[in-house]
Amino acid sequence: MQLFKSKDIFLQFTLNLESAKKFSLKQGITTTNENTLEALKRFSMLERQSSKTFYLWGNKGSGKTFWLRSWQIEKESRSIYIDSLVENQSVPKKNNWFLYIDNIEKADEKIKSRLFEELINQHITNNKFVFASKVDLINLKAFNFRDDFISRLKQGLVCHLAELPDEEKKNALRVHIHNLGWIKCSTSSAYDSLIDYMLTHLPRELGTLRLALDKLNETAVKQKKTISLRSIKHFLEEDETD
């Protein structure tokens, strides 16, 4: 994914979000979503034995993918992450597994059929499902899901994930900048103008913003240049005019 372009070699880099993103529960921020994320934790840790499905919905940028990927990585074995946006995905036939299904509203008919089959046979397979979507469960019908499919999800847990307020994102990015060694104190506002500009002009997902800082830092070290708001503006303006 080419996110930024510039004539200045210092500012040219590619963001490969799939290969470069690091998902870890330790990086998660629970502010404003404490109840939802505690429920997801208890479900993933098998503390909610009576529930077999968990439906997590929220706007783009609320962190749904981060939490699904992080929990799947945390569980490692006997679990799988499936992104319905990716073509040629398949739902494996397993028993006693956790399946984390992202962007469920984009699932094709083949995936929908397999998932419904899985839901019907949960009493046999004992599989658990975490679904993530940008729409609430009531509106899932608009994406051509069967009524009985939706009814089965209603029997499980349904929780909303709110997007982090900008101030919380800024705090998280300050900590990240501190970890990169740019500032001595994680509460320093030295790079706030840079953070504000990134929040305005870049994709607002926290993982993407962290990755952009990582790539900028890597390039700055190699080229022995200093990161500045001017340099950020420069390559964004170049990108818009290309």
Q: Where in the chain is the domain with CATH 3.40.50.300?
A: 30-160
Say which residue, 61 or 109, is predicted with more confidence.
109
Strands 53-57 and 157-160: parallel
Q: What phi and psi, each to the nearest 5 degrees, are found at residue 21?
A: -65, 140
Amino acid at site 88? N
Higher-confidence residue: 6 or 234? 234
| CATH architecture under which domain 30-160 falls | 3-Layer(aba) Sandwich (3.40)
Cβ–Cβ under 8 Å, residues 135 and 141:
no
pLDDT at 204: 79
Q: What is the pLDDT of residue 240?
A: 47
> How does strand 53-57 pair with strand 79-83?
unpaired
Q: Which two tokens stand for residue 48?
A: 């909610």
Strand order in the sheet with 98-102: 79-83, 98-102, 128-133, 53-57, 157-160
Residue from 172, 238, 171, 176 nearest 201 by CA: 238
pLDDT tier for residue 209 given thresholds of 50, 70 and 90: confident
CA 33/CA 229 separation, integer angstroms: 32
Tokens of residue 233, six digits? 């503006």
Q: Where are the alpha helices (DSSP H) in 21-158?
A: 34-44, 64-75, 109-120, 122-125, 147-154
Q: Is the pLDDT of residue 182 over 80?
A: yes
Residue with tokens 């070290």: 221
Q: How does the average pLDDT of the chain come out, rounded? A: 84
